[in-house]
Amino acid sequence: MFEITVQHHFCAAHSLRGYPGKCQNIHGHNFVVEARITGQQLDAVGILVDFKDVKAALGAIIEALDHQYLNDLPPFREVNPSSENLAKYFYDQLAPHLPAHVRLAEICLRETPSYAAIYRPPLA
């Protein structure tokens, strides 16, 4: 099994509705999104999937979130824009844009160097 990892980043603000502490107030992060992609088949060049293609797909998702107040965006008007929910959002948005011979194993979303949330889909 082969695995590649691609990172991208964005800046955004959010507030966690119902949180019993300071995070209920608006605050921002320099988020880092990391996509881990696995597969068994390399292409004729010897790569699983081009790093640049994955970064471009992540960039298209990030474009709508970068420098925004996440709570105002449609995906997060009802669902809290927690790191966990952001990780799942990135998973759901990225997975359909990957080639059929690979699998998006997980998304890791870091809100600080010390704090990260990972979303992995349930095993089928």
Name the residues annotated as catalytic: 23, 67, 111
Spatial separation of the C-alpha atoms in residues 76 and 91, rounded to whole Å: 15
Name which of 91, 111, 123 is nearest 23 in CA terms. Answer: 111
For the chain, helix (H) and strand (E) counts, in that order, are 2, 4
Give all strands (DSSP E) within the chain, no chain letters. Answer: 2-14, 27-39, 103-110, 116-119
Question: HSE-up of 103 (CA within 13 Å, CB side)?
Answer: 12
- Containing 40, the helix (H) or strand (E) segment is none
